[in-house]
Structure 1
Amino acid sequence: MLTVLAELNCQPAHALMVGDSRSDFDLARDAEVPFGFARYGYGRHEVDEHVCDVVLESMSDLFDWVTSR
Structure 2
Amino acid sequence: MVRTYIKNVVKDIDAKDAEKAQAAYVLAVPVIDRMADKGIIHKNKAARHKSRLNGHVKALKTAA
> Structure 2 length as normaliser, TM-score?
0.35
Per residue, is there more helix in 1 or in 2?
2
Per residue, is there more strand in 1 or in 2?
1
